[in-house]
Amino acid sequence: MGRRIPGKKHKGVKDPIAQKELREEGLKHCINAPPKEIDFQEIPKSLERLMKLKQMTKEGMFNKRKKKTSNKTGLMDTSRLAGKERVLPGMTKPDRELPVLVQKPGEPEWIFLNRVKNATNDFIKEVKFEVKHNMKMKRDEKTGEVKFDKIEADPVDKMFEDKLTATKKHKKNPKGVSQPEGLSKTARRRMRLQARRADQGQTEREVKGGDDFSRLQDKVEFNEVVHRPPQLSALPRKA
Task: Answer yes or no: is 127 within a domain.
Answer: yes
Whether 82 is in a domain gets the answer: no
In a domain, 109, yes or no: yes
Residue 112 lies in a domain: yes
- Distance, CA of 145 to CA of 124 (rounded, Å): 19
> Does residue 44 lie in a domain region?
no
pLDDT at 50 over 90: yes
Tell me how far CA of residue 144 lies from CA of 66, 71, 96, 99, 140, in angstroms.
37, 30, 17, 13, 5
Which residues are bridge partners to 183 per DSSP?
none
Model pLDDT for residues 53-80, shown as the tens digit of each residue: 999 888 887 766 666 665 666 788 877 7
Look at residue 5 in the predicted model and tell me its pLDDT: 85
> Which one of 43-57, 65-79, 119-133, 190-204 scores highest in mean pLDDT?
43-57
Q: At residue 232, does pLDDT exceed 90?
A: no
Question: What is the residue-averaged pLDDT of the chain?
Answer: 78
> Residue 167 in contact with residue 176, Cβ under 8 Å?
no
Residue 23 falls inside a structural domain: no
State the residue range of the domain holding 120.
97-167
Across 124-141, average pLDDT:
80
> Average pLDDT of 165-175?
64
With respect to residue 158, please indicate whether it lies within any of the assigned structural domains: yes
The total number of structural domains in the chain stands at 1
Q: Is residue 43 part of a domain?
A: no
Strand stretches in 55-191, DSSP E: 135-139, 146-150
